[in-house]
């Protein structure tokens, strides 16, 4: 059976170069990078090289990179650490309505400590407006967190415009760039952000490796106490193999990102146009300002989970909603925030293509999916009751 993998937003294959670079640090070079003896020398050097490569991917300096275990941890570290460090100035936080749950849940945690959160709404394309941000900004706002791009619908935000608008207010600006860093060009200096979350798996690095960029001079409370690692801001023995893999993947992404984007953009358009030829299908997310390779649609009158299972039987891997909520069997908060009705949002499908996908993969999906949709609709009482079916 043919296999077509279009769930790269959830997990990507690790680059051969990264796997090869990681291998010695599982065995031959197993020392702790904090050790002063010779067994710690190679891991310590490797850690610094990975920090330099990761920093280079986003235009940062190496001391501004703090390694974590995941994008969710980076977001938790940013939201909680930045808020707590700046609470004497105020306790108001601003986020968008479509942030990742690791941001939204961190805010809920802080609310139990006396902080207050305001959510900026988005339009029907999932775009956060600068005007909407300014409307909720207050004198006691200490932190603004707006994601760079949404993993689920692919919409990219004008982070530079919003950070410029916030500058001068005294608030720290964080962006969740887990879906974007390594997929599209990012320069933290140009964006004007104080903190940025990223994860290795977005650019074909290993899972279990991520980072938080923190602009020099930005105050943050330690997220994990008990050690000197990561300049005392994230204690715990470093995951050297994964961090090494992240560094190598970051370097490869810097070199090949343009090539990957050039390939993925037309594949995205080919799949989008093909899916929209079916009846009662709507594209979700911005039609043009979206991540390369990401196609998000809602197929009306049927549920996404049923389509996923039937596509899987034909060798196609896709998703419904974000990777962190797709097993929850509930409508995506992102789609609901965009004004999509609850019953329509349940028909969400997300195809996230990667460097290994081809036109033949797209054509296979467009050949397999329509009969599945028709079969499920024929069983749907909602579809049979629509005016055009009477």
When the pLDDT of each residue in the chain is averaged and rounded to a whole number, the result is 94
More confident site: 325 or 152: 152
**The CATH number of the domain where 235 resides is what?**
3.40.640.10
Residues 284 and 218 in one domain: no
Residue 50 pLDDT exceeds 90: yes
Contact 275, 364 (CB under 8 A): no
Residues 314 and 248 in one domain: no
Residues 243 and 292 in one domain: no
Whole-model pTM? 0.94
What is the distance between the alpha carbons of residues 200 and 122, in angstroms, rounded to a whole number?
28
Contact 285, 128 (CB under 8 A): no
- Predicted confidence at residue 271, as pLDDT, reads 98
Last residue of a domain, one of 218, 252, 286: 252
Residue 163 pLDDT exceeds 80: yes
How confident is the model over 213-271, as pLDDT tens digits? Answer: 999 999 999 989 988 888 889 999 999 999 999 999 999 999 999 999 999 999 999 99
Residues 42 and 173 in one domain: yes
- Predicted confidence at residue 379, as pLDDT, reads 84
Residues 208 and 317 in one domain: no
Last residue of a domain, one of 252, 274, 299: 252
Residue 326 pLDDT exceeds 90: no
Residues 220 and 197 in one domain: yes
- Rg of the chain's alpha carbons, rounded to an integer? 22
Number of domains composing the chain: 2
What is the distance between the alpha carbons of residues 121 and 209, in angstroms, rounded to a whole number?
31
- Predicted confidence at residue 228, as pLDDT, reads 87
- Among residues 287, 343, 336, which one has the least CA distance to residue 97? 336
Residues 170 and 274 in one domain: no
Q: What tokens does 280 get?
A: 């009662």
- Predicted confidence at residue 328, as pLDDT, reads 53
Q: Which residue has the tokens 């808020």?
A: 83
- Predicted confidence at residue 322, as pLDDT, reads 43
- Predicted confidence at residue 227, as pLDDT, reads 86
Residue 192 pLDDT exceeds 60: yes
pLDDT band at 1 (very low <50, low <70, confident <90, very high): confident
Residue 389 pLDDT exceeds 60: no
How confident is the model over 123-139, as pLDDT tens digits? Answer: 999 999 999 999 999 99
Residues 212 and 198 in one domain: yes
Last residue of a domain, one of 195, 217, 252: 252
- Predicted confidence at residue 330, as pLDDT, reads 75
How long a stretch of residues is the chain? 390
- Among residues 330, 333, 255, 60, which one has the least CA distance to residue 177? 60
Residue 76 pLDDT exceeds 50: yes
Which region, left, alpha or beta, applies to residue 125 given φ > 0 means left and ψ of -120 to 50 means alpha? Answer: alpha
Read off the pLDDT of each residue in 373-383 and give the average, rounded to a whole number.
Answer: 82
**The CATH number of the domain where 363 resides is what?**
3.90.1150.10
Q: What tokens does 45 get?
A: 């050097």
Residues 60 and 206 in one domain: yes
| Catalytic entry in 107, 148, 298, 324 | 324
pLDDT band at 366 (very low <50, low <70, confident <90, very high): very high
Find the domain containing 192 and state its range: 16-252
Read off the pLDDT of each residue in 84-99 and give the average, rounded to a whole number.
Answer: 97
Query: Is 324 assigned a catalytic role?
Result: yes
pLDDT band at 198 (very low <50, low <70, confident <90, very high): very high
Residue 276 pLDDT exceeds 50: yes
Residues 140 and 231 in one domain: yes
pLDDT band at 390 (very low <50, low <70, confident <90, very high): very low
What is the distance between the alpha carbons of residues 312 and 317, in angstroms, rounded to a whole number?
6
Residues 223 and 269 in one domain: no
Residues 196 and 76 in one domain: yes
- Predicted confidence at residue 382, as pLDDT, reads 63
Read off the pLDDT of each residue in 14-20 and give the average, rounded to a whole number.
Answer: 97
Residue 343 pLDDT exceeds 60: yes
């Amino acid at each position: 059976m043919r296999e077509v993998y279009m769930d790269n937003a959830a997990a990507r294959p690790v680059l051969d170069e990264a796997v090869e670079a990681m291998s010695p640090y599982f065995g031959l070079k197993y020392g702790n990078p904090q050790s002063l003896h010779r067994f710690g020398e190679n891991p310590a050097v490797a850690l610094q090289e990975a920090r330099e490569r990761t920093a280079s991917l986003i235009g940062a300096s190496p001391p501004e990179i703090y390694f974590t275990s995941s994008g969710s941890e980076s977001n938790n570290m940013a939201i909680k650490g930045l808020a707590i460090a700046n609470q004497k100035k105020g306790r108001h936080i601003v986020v968008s309505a479509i942030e990742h749950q690791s941001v939204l849940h961190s805010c809920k945690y802080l609310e139990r400590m006396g902080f207050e959160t305001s959510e900026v709404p988005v339009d029907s394309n999932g775009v956060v407006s600068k005007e909407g941000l300014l409307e909720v900004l207050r004198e006691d706002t200490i932190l603004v967190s707006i994601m760079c791009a949404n993993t689920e619908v692919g919409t990219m935000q004008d982070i530079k415009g919003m950070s410029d608008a916030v500058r001068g207010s005294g608030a720290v600006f964080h962006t969740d760039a887990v879906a974007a860093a390594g997929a599209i060009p990012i320069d933290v200096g140009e964006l004007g952000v104080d903190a940025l979350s990223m994860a290795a798996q977005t650019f074909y690095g290993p899972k279990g490796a991520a980072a938080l960029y923190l602009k020099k001079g930005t105050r943050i409370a330690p997220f994990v106490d008990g050690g000197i690692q990561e300049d005392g801001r994230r204690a715990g023995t470093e995951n050297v193999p994964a961090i090494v893999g992240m560094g190598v993947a970051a370097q490869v992404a810097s070199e090949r990102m343009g090539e990957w984007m050039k390939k993925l953009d037309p594949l995205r358009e080919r799949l989008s146009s093909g899916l929209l030829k079916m009846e009662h299908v709507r594209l979700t997310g911005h039609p043009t300002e979206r991540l390369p390779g990401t196609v998000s649609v809602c197929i009306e009158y049927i549920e996404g989970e049923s389509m996923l299972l039937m596509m899987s039987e034909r060798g196609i891997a896709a998703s419904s909603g974000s990777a962190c909520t797709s097993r929850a069997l509930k409508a995506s908060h992102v789609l609901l925030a965009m004004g999509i009705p609850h019953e329509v949002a349940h028909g969400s499908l997300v195809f996230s293509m990667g460097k290994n996908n081809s036109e033949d993969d797209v054509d296979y999906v467009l050949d397999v999916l329509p009969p599945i949709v028709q079969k499920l609709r024929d069983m749907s009482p909602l579809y049979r009751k629509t005016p055009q079916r009477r």
